[in-house]
Amino acid sequence: MDPAVGWFQPEQKGPALRLWSEIWSCHQSTVSSSEDRKTLLRKENKACTFALNQNIELTLQCGGTPWKTENKMYSYGTLGLHEEIEEFYQYISPNFAEHNVRLEVVERITNIILSIWPHAQVEVYGSFRTGLYLPTSDIDLVVIEKKDISFRALEKALLENNIAKASSIKVLDKASVPIVKLIDAKTDTKIDISFNMNSGVKSANLIKEFMQAYPALPKLVLVLKQFLLERDLNEVFLGGISSYSLILLTISFLQHMRSQNETNLGKLLIMFFELYGRHFNYQSTGISIKNGGTYFIKGDFNSMTDGNRPSILCIEDPLLPGNDIGRSSYGALNVKLAFEYAYKILSEAVRPSNFTPDNKKSILGRIIQITDEVIAYRNWISKTFPVSSISILQDSESNISNKLKDTPTWKSTRESDSSCISSASSMASDTDSDVDIFVKSSETVTSDLETIK
């Protein structure tokens, strides 16, 4: 079993487990390098579950599933998975302390930026603007400034005012979009500051519009973001895909599922993994969420390739025609393999043959585990920065909140997009023949792929 992708399931544990583990390690011949990689990833990513089989101490607290209600009898099959996803969403969503800490970080960094460029415009975008952020997600800021920008001046100011950890600042001024990366010294929050990029805020507003159209979107996205984060597949430079790409994949999936009117999150999650892990043709097919959601043949859209070979994951930018969002995702097939693994694990777990009388074992926990380090970090935030003691001016907090909420919204080019899915509260109750339902429903999604082959 690849230690970067998964871990042993309860039914796999037995006398032969140790033998097969040793065979795997010998076959891969990566015991020492795996240890080095594990140490490196653990430093950078509190949520990393790399080599969990050999490091069970990573999830001793709550067994890696703190979202589960103790001693609760969950329903069988996909309905039980649906219940867990609902609980996971409630657990992983930011509490008041976490949200206010981020507002305070934005306020402090904004003050530093305005002290250097008084007429600059500072905007929040990305997951903090949409609300689709995990406890360890970074904060994305964009600075709009017409004058010449001195990145070193910003770096110096951040250090002199004890905003950033000295060893954390990275100035990527040669990138196509210049970025300053840092970690806040006070809260250990990661921040990315980009410059003169107008598309970030518009993209966040687009996502918020689709969140209203598809009630299942935020819940699926947070599960999927956690799934990729644990496996270090949430960053393009690590061989994964960006959060924006993941969200567009999820929107496209829900667009093609709208005729099913499916509200069971368990079924939707498994069908998502089945589509992008097994059926989707990455070689020749591109994705667009415009005009209600379509697929296209990559070769027919030369404007998105710049005369070069099409990217593995080709996603049309809904706001900038001709731009391929997935162009830099060179490791997209790693994500595809992880999705396929998740489909195999979950589709097997919801089969009637795996039902037990005391249905207390986690289904979602087979692919997602919350590390003790993440739990400890969230507890530290809540205790160290209780809401009542956050040193933030009310008017400043109101201004930042307005930036996050009271913004123009993107309107869909198809009126049907705003009503293509029913309310998530009308949950599907029947769980018979779940596996057959997956196959039938996935045929609806993949039929669009067949038409362009």
My answer on whether 104 and 189 are in the same domain is yes
Q: Examine residue 284 and state whether it is found in any structural domain, yes or no.
A: yes
Which of 344, 364, 395 is where one domain is finished?
A: 395
My answer on whether 281 and 379 are in the same domain is yes
pLDDT at residue 112 in the model? 96
pTM: 0.81
pLDDT at residue 249 in the model? 98
Averaged pLDDT for residues 420-445: 40
Residues 373-427 pLDDT 10s: 999 999 999 999 988 644 444 444 445 445 444 433 232 333 334 333 233 333 3
Which of 179, 197, 215 is where one domain is finished?
A: 197
pLDDT at residue 42 above 60? no
Q: CATH number, domain at 129?
A: 3.30.460.10
pLDDT at residue 109 above 90? yes
pLDDT at residue 343 above 80? yes
My answer on whether 297 and 275 are in the same domain is yes
My answer on whether 381 and 242 are in the same domain is yes
My answer on whether 157 and 294 are in the same domain is no
Instruction: Give the structural domain span for 128.
Output: 96-197
Q: CATH number, domain at 369?
A: 1.10.1410.10
pLDDT at residue 432 in the model? 39
pLDDT at residue 365 above 50? yes
Averaged pLDDT for residues 148-166: 91
Averaged pLDDT for residues 14-29: 59
Q: Examine residue 449 and state whether it is found in any structural domain, yes or no.
A: no
My answer on whether 188 and 46 are in the same domain is no
My answer on whether 63 and 124 are in the same domain is no
Candidate ranges 8-22, 53-67, 416-430; pick with highest mean pLDDT: 53-67
My answer on whether 76 and 141 are in the same domain is no
pLDDT at residue 125 above 90? yes
Mean pLDDT of the chain: 81
My answer on whether 188 and 210 are in the same domain is no
Residue 29 backbone phi and psi in degrees, to 5: 55, 45
Q: Examine residue 87 and state whether it is found in any structural domain, yes or no.
A: yes
Q: Give the whole-number percent of the chain exceeding pLDDT 70.
A: 73
Which of 165, 197, 229 is where one domain is finished?
A: 197
pLDDT at residue 202 in the model? 93
pLDDT at residue 387 in the model? 80
Number of structural domains (the chain) is: 2
